[in-house]
Amino acid sequence: MRIVLLGAPGAGKGTQCKRIAAKYGLMHLSSGDILRQERAAGSNLGKKAQSYMDAGELVPDKIIVEMMAGAIKKAADNGFVLDGFPRTVNQAVELDKALTLAGQKINAVLNLEVNDQLIVRRMAGRRSCPKCGAVYHLENLKPKVEGICDNDGDKLVQRPDDNAKVVANRLKTYHQQTEPVVAYYKNNNTVYDINANRTADEVTAAIFENLDAMVSV
Ligand code: AP5
Protein backbone atom coordinates (compact mmCIF):
# COMPACT_ATOMS: atom_id res chain seq x y z
CA MET A 1 0.00 0.00 0.00
CA ARG A 2 1.33 3.47 -0.90
CA ILE A 3 -0.22 6.37 0.98
CA VAL A 4 0.27 10.14 0.97
CA LEU A 5 -0.71 12.08 4.11
CA LEU A 6 -1.41 15.77 3.49
CA GLY A 7 -2.03 18.49 6.05
CA ALA A 8 -0.80 21.82 7.35
CA PRO A 9 2.23 22.05 9.62
CA GLY A 10 1.21 20.66 13.00
CA ALA A 11 -1.93 18.99 11.63
CA GLY A 12 -0.73 15.69 13.11
CA LYS A 13 0.87 14.09 10.05
CA GLY A 14 3.84 12.67 11.95
CA THR A 15 1.67 11.42 14.82
CA GLN A 16 -0.77 9.64 12.47
CA CYS A 17 1.88 8.33 10.03
CA LYS A 18 3.64 6.47 12.85
CA ARG A 19 0.35 4.75 13.74
CA ILE A 20 -0.52 3.95 10.10
CA ALA A 21 2.97 2.54 9.47
CA ALA A 22 2.73 0.34 12.59
CA LYS A 23 -0.75 -1.03 11.79
CA TYR A 24 -0.25 -1.75 8.07
CA GLY A 25 3.47 -2.66 8.15
CA LEU A 26 4.49 0.30 5.98
CA MET A 27 7.65 2.38 5.97
CA HIS A 28 7.12 5.91 7.36
CA LEU A 29 8.96 8.35 5.09
CA SER A 30 8.97 11.88 6.53
CA SER A 31 10.73 14.52 4.41
CA GLY A 32 11.07 16.78 7.48
CA ASP A 33 12.65 13.99 9.59
CA ILE A 34 15.07 13.08 6.79
CA LEU A 35 16.08 16.74 6.42
CA ARG A 36 16.60 17.07 10.20
CA GLN A 37 18.76 13.90 10.18
CA GLU A 38 20.83 15.34 7.32
CA ARG A 39 21.27 18.58 9.25
CA ALA A 40 22.31 16.73 12.40
CA ALA A 41 24.86 14.76 10.36
CA GLY A 42 26.23 18.00 8.85
CA SER A 43 25.81 16.71 5.27
CA ASN A 44 25.84 18.99 2.20
CA LEU A 45 22.12 18.35 1.74
CA GLY A 46 21.48 19.34 5.37
CA LYS A 47 23.51 22.53 4.97
CA LYS A 48 21.63 23.48 1.80
CA ALA A 49 18.25 22.93 3.51
CA GLN A 50 19.06 24.77 6.75
CA SER A 51 18.22 28.38 5.87
CA TYR A 52 14.90 27.43 4.22
CA MET A 53 13.78 25.33 7.19
CA ASP A 54 14.75 27.97 9.75
CA ALA A 55 12.71 30.58 7.87
CA GLY A 56 9.67 28.31 7.38
CA GLU A 57 10.13 28.29 3.59
CA LEU A 58 10.10 25.22 1.35
CA VAL A 59 13.42 23.63 0.41
CA PRO A 60 13.76 23.77 -3.43
CA ASP A 61 11.90 21.01 -5.30
CA LYS A 62 15.01 19.63 -7.02
CA ILE A 63 16.71 18.83 -3.70
CA ILE A 64 13.57 17.32 -2.16
CA VAL A 65 12.52 15.22 -5.17
CA GLU A 66 15.98 13.64 -5.42
CA MET A 67 16.11 12.98 -1.67
CA MET A 68 12.64 11.41 -1.52
CA ALA A 69 13.16 9.33 -4.68
CA GLY A 70 16.16 7.77 -2.92
CA ALA A 71 14.12 7.08 0.24
CA ILE A 72 11.21 5.55 -1.71
CA LYS A 73 13.56 3.22 -3.61
CA LYS A 74 14.78 1.84 -0.28
CA ALA A 75 11.21 1.18 0.98
CA ALA A 76 10.14 -2.47 1.17
CA ASP A 77 7.70 -3.93 -1.37
CA ASN A 78 4.74 -3.74 1.02
CA GLY A 79 4.82 0.05 0.69
CA PHE A 80 5.15 3.36 2.48
CA VAL A 81 3.31 6.29 3.96
CA LEU A 82 4.63 9.70 2.89
CA ASP A 83 4.66 12.49 5.49
CA GLY A 84 5.39 16.06 4.34
CA PHE A 85 6.00 15.10 0.72
CA PRO A 86 4.80 16.06 -1.86
CA ARG A 87 4.36 19.68 -0.81
CA THR A 88 4.12 21.42 -4.21
CA VAL A 89 2.24 20.38 -7.35
CA ASN A 90 5.59 19.98 -9.10
CA GLN A 91 6.73 17.51 -6.40
CA ALA A 92 3.47 15.55 -6.83
CA VAL A 93 3.95 15.39 -10.60
CA GLU A 94 7.56 14.21 -10.19
CA LEU A 95 6.46 11.58 -7.66
CA ASP A 96 3.80 10.26 -10.05
CA LYS A 97 6.36 10.08 -12.88
CA ALA A 98 8.84 8.11 -10.74
CA LEU A 99 6.15 5.69 -9.51
CA THR A 100 4.79 5.15 -13.03
CA LEU A 101 8.31 4.27 -14.22
CA ALA A 102 8.50 1.68 -11.42
CA GLY A 103 5.03 0.31 -12.32
CA GLN A 104 3.53 1.65 -9.09
CA LYS A 105 0.96 4.23 -7.99
CA ILE A 106 -0.39 6.01 -4.91
CA ASN A 107 -3.34 3.98 -3.54
CA ALA A 108 -4.78 6.57 -1.18
CA VAL A 109 -4.35 10.18 -0.13
CA LEU A 110 -5.40 11.24 3.37
CA ASN A 111 -5.99 14.96 3.85
CA LEU A 112 -5.95 16.11 7.49
CA GLU A 113 -8.13 19.22 7.85
CA VAL A 114 -7.46 21.42 10.92
CA ASN A 115 -8.22 25.05 11.60
CA ASP A 116 -5.26 27.44 11.87
CA GLN A 117 -5.85 28.52 15.51
CA LEU A 118 -5.68 24.91 16.69
CA ILE A 119 -2.49 24.39 14.71
CA VAL A 120 -0.74 27.31 16.44
CA ARG A 121 -1.61 25.74 19.85
CA ARG A 122 -0.41 22.30 18.78
CA MET A 123 2.94 23.59 17.56
CA ALA A 124 3.54 25.72 20.67
CA GLY A 125 3.09 22.65 22.90
CA ARG A 126 4.96 20.12 20.76
CA ARG A 127 8.00 18.42 22.26
CA SER A 128 9.95 15.66 20.54
CA CYS A 129 12.69 13.16 21.28
CA PRO A 130 15.93 13.99 19.42
CA LYS A 131 16.95 10.31 19.61
CA CYS A 132 13.91 8.30 18.40
CA GLY A 133 11.73 11.09 16.92
CA ALA A 134 8.71 10.33 19.17
CA VAL A 135 6.34 13.32 19.31
CA TYR A 136 4.49 14.54 22.43
CA HIS A 137 2.43 17.55 23.46
CA LEU A 138 2.56 19.46 26.75
CA GLU A 139 -1.24 19.09 27.21
CA ASN A 140 -2.65 16.65 24.64
CA LEU A 141 -0.12 13.82 24.42
CA LYS A 142 2.00 13.90 27.57
CA PRO A 143 4.92 11.56 28.20
CA LYS A 144 4.71 9.39 31.36
CA VAL A 145 7.43 11.51 33.03
CA GLU A 146 7.40 15.24 32.23
CA GLY A 147 10.10 16.22 29.71
CA ILE A 148 11.37 12.65 29.22
CA CYS A 149 10.82 10.30 26.26
CA ASP A 150 8.80 7.16 27.13
CA ASN A 151 10.83 5.06 24.67
CA ASP A 152 14.44 5.81 25.58
CA GLY A 153 14.54 8.21 28.55
CA ASP A 154 16.06 11.02 26.47
CA LYS A 155 15.29 14.67 27.31
CA LEU A 156 12.52 16.07 25.08
CA VAL A 157 13.25 19.22 23.04
CA GLN A 158 11.29 21.91 21.21
CA ARG A 159 11.90 22.18 17.46
CA PRO A 160 13.60 25.48 16.53
CA ASP A 161 11.04 26.11 13.75
CA ASP A 162 8.14 25.90 16.23
CA ASN A 163 8.52 29.54 17.36
CA ALA A 164 5.53 31.82 16.64
CA LYS A 165 7.13 33.84 13.81
CA VAL A 166 8.32 30.80 11.84
CA VAL A 167 5.02 28.94 12.46
CA ALA A 168 3.14 31.88 10.91
CA ASN A 169 5.36 31.69 7.83
CA ARG A 170 5.05 27.88 7.59
CA LEU A 171 1.25 28.26 7.63
CA LYS A 172 1.39 30.94 4.92
CA THR A 173 3.68 28.73 2.82
CA TYR A 174 1.27 25.82 3.30
CA HIS A 175 -1.78 27.80 2.11
CA GLN A 176 0.07 29.19 -0.92
CA GLN A 177 2.10 26.21 -2.11
CA THR A 178 0.75 22.99 -0.57
CA GLU A 179 -3.04 23.43 -0.61
CA PRO A 180 -3.01 23.19 -4.45
CA VAL A 181 -1.57 19.66 -4.02
CA VAL A 182 -4.91 18.59 -2.48
CA ALA A 183 -6.71 19.73 -5.67
CA TYR A 184 -4.10 17.94 -7.80
CA TYR A 185 -4.80 14.64 -6.02
CA LYS A 186 -8.58 15.17 -6.05
CA ASN A 187 -8.32 15.22 -9.86
CA ASN A 188 -6.15 12.10 -10.05
CA ASN A 189 -6.63 9.87 -6.97
CA THR A 190 -8.93 8.84 -4.17
CA VAL A 191 -8.65 11.50 -1.46
CA TYR A 192 -10.09 10.96 2.03
CA ASP A 193 -10.75 14.27 3.81
CA ILE A 194 -10.29 13.66 7.54
CA ASN A 195 -11.60 16.07 10.18
CA ALA A 196 -8.45 16.41 12.31
CA ASN A 197 -9.87 19.02 14.73
CA ARG A 198 -10.41 16.06 17.09
CA THR A 199 -8.27 14.08 19.51
CA ALA A 200 -5.39 12.11 18.01
CA ASP A 201 -7.18 8.81 18.81
CA GLU A 202 -10.38 9.95 17.09
CA VAL A 203 -8.39 10.99 14.02
CA THR A 204 -6.60 7.61 13.98
CA ALA A 205 -9.96 5.78 14.17
CA ALA A 206 -11.29 7.75 11.18
CA ILE A 207 -8.14 7.03 9.16
CA PHE A 208 -8.17 3.31 9.96
CA GLU A 209 -11.87 3.08 9.06
CA ASN A 210 -11.16 4.48 5.57
CA LEU A 211 -8.01 2.42 5.00
CA ASP A 212 -9.61 -0.81 6.28
CA ALA A 213 -12.54 -0.30 3.90
CA MET A 214 -10.10 0.30 1.03
CA VAL A 215 -7.98 -2.78 1.83
CA SER A 216 -11.04 -5.05 2.06
CA VAL A 217 -12.30 -4.14 -1.45
P1 AP5 B 1 8.08 19.01 8.46
O2 AP5 B 1 8.91 18.38 9.49
O3 AP5 B 1 7.40 18.17 7.44
O4 AP5 B 1 7.05 19.93 9.23
P5 AP5 B 1 5.52 20.26 8.94
O6 AP5 B 1 4.86 19.83 7.71
O7 AP5 B 1 5.52 21.70 9.20
O8 AP5 B 1 4.80 19.33 9.89
P9 AP5 B 1 5.13 19.12 11.37
O10 AP5 B 1 6.17 18.05 11.54
O11 AP5 B 1 5.42 20.44 12.03
O12 AP5 B 1 3.73 18.69 11.96
P13 AP5 B 1 2.89 17.35 11.81
O14 AP5 B 1 1.74 17.56 10.89
O15 AP5 B 1 3.77 16.17 11.58
O16 AP5 B 1 2.28 17.31 13.28
P17 AP5 B 1 2.67 16.43 14.56
O18 AP5 B 1 2.19 15.04 14.39
O19 AP5 B 1 4.09 16.63 14.95
O20 AP5 B 1 8.92 20.11 7.64
C21 AP5 B 1 9.81 21.01 8.28
C22 AP5 B 1 10.50 21.88 7.23
O23 AP5 B 1 11.26 21.05 6.31
C24 AP5 B 1 9.55 22.67 6.29
O25 AP5 B 1 9.15 23.90 6.87
C26 AP5 B 1 10.41 22.84 5.04
O27 AP5 B 1 11.36 23.87 5.19
C28 AP5 B 1 11.18 21.52 4.96
N29 AP5 B 1 10.48 20.50 4.14
C30 AP5 B 1 9.97 19.31 4.56
N31 AP5 B 1 9.40 18.65 3.55
C32 AP5 B 1 9.53 19.42 2.44
C33 AP5 B 1 9.11 19.29 1.09
N34 AP5 B 1 8.42 18.21 0.67
N35 AP5 B 1 9.40 20.29 0.22
C36 AP5 B 1 10.09 21.38 0.62
N37 AP5 B 1 10.51 21.58 1.90
C38 AP5 B 1 10.23 20.61 2.80
O39 AP5 B 1 1.71 17.14 15.64
C40 AP5 B 1 1.95 18.46 16.11
C41 AP5 B 1 1.69 18.55 17.63
O42 AP5 B 1 0.31 18.38 17.89
C43 AP5 B 1 2.41 17.45 18.44
O44 AP5 B 1 2.78 17.99 19.68
C45 AP5 B 1 1.34 16.37 18.65
O46 AP5 B 1 1.55 15.65 19.83
C47 AP5 B 1 0.07 17.21 18.69
N48 AP5 B 1 -1.09 16.55 18.07
C49 AP5 B 1 -1.08 15.79 16.94
N50 AP5 B 1 -2.35 15.41 16.64
C51 AP5 B 1 -3.16 15.95 17.61
C52 AP5 B 1 -4.57 15.93 17.84
N53 AP5 B 1 -5.42 15.29 17.01
N54 AP5 B 1 -5.05 16.62 18.90
C55 AP5 B 1 -4.22 17.29 19.72
N56 AP5 B 1 -2.87 17.34 19.57
C57 AP5 B 1 -2.34 16.68 18.52
pTM: 0.94
Q: Choose which residue among 59, 62, 165 to substitute to test ligand 1 binding: the one with the highest number of ligand atoms within 8 A of its C-beta.
A: 59
Supply the pLDDT for residue 133: 86
Instruction: Quote the ligand 1 centre to 162 CA distance (angstroms).
Output: 10
85 Cα nearest atom in ligand 1: 34
Supply the pLDDT for residue 74: 86
| Chain centroid offset of residue 76 CA | 19
Supply the pLDDT for residue 130: 87
Cα–Cα distance measured from residue 198 to residue 63, given in angstroms and rounded to the nearest whole number: 34
Supply the pLDDT for residue 21: 96
Instruction: Quote the ligand 1 centre to 192 CA distance (angstroms).
Output: 19
Cα-flanking dihedrals φ and ψ of residue 63, to 5°? Answer: -65, -45
Q: Please say whether the beta carbons of 33 and 137 come within 8 A.
A: no
Cα–Cα distance measured from residue 100 to residue 104, given in angstroms and rounded to the nearest whole number: 5
68 Cα nearest atom in ligand 1: 34
Supply the pLDDT for residue 69: 93
Supply the pLDDT for residue 24: 95
Half-sphere exposure of 50 toward its Cβ, with a 13 Å CA cutoff?
11
Q: Please say whether the beta carbons of 82 and 29 come within 8 A.
A: yes
Own/partner contacts of 149-158, CB < 8 Å, gap of 24 or more, are 154/129, 154/130, 156/127, 156/128, 156/129, 157/127, 157/128, 157/129, 157/130, 158/126, 158/127, 158/128
Specify burial of residue 137 (Cβ count, 10 A radius: 0-12, 13-18, 19+): buried
pLDDT, one tens digit for every residue, the chain (217 residues): 999 999 999 999 999 999 999 999 999 999 999 999 999 999 999 999 999 999 999 999 999 999 999 999 888 777 999 999 999 999 999 999 999 998 999 999 999 999 999 999 899 999 999 888 899 999 989 999 999 999 999 999 999 899 889 999 999 999 999 999 999 999 988 999 999 999 999 999 999 999 999 888 7
- Residues annotated as catalytic (active site), given as ranges: 13, 87, 126, 159, 170
Supply the pLDDT for residue 140: 87
Supply the pLDDT for residue 78: 79
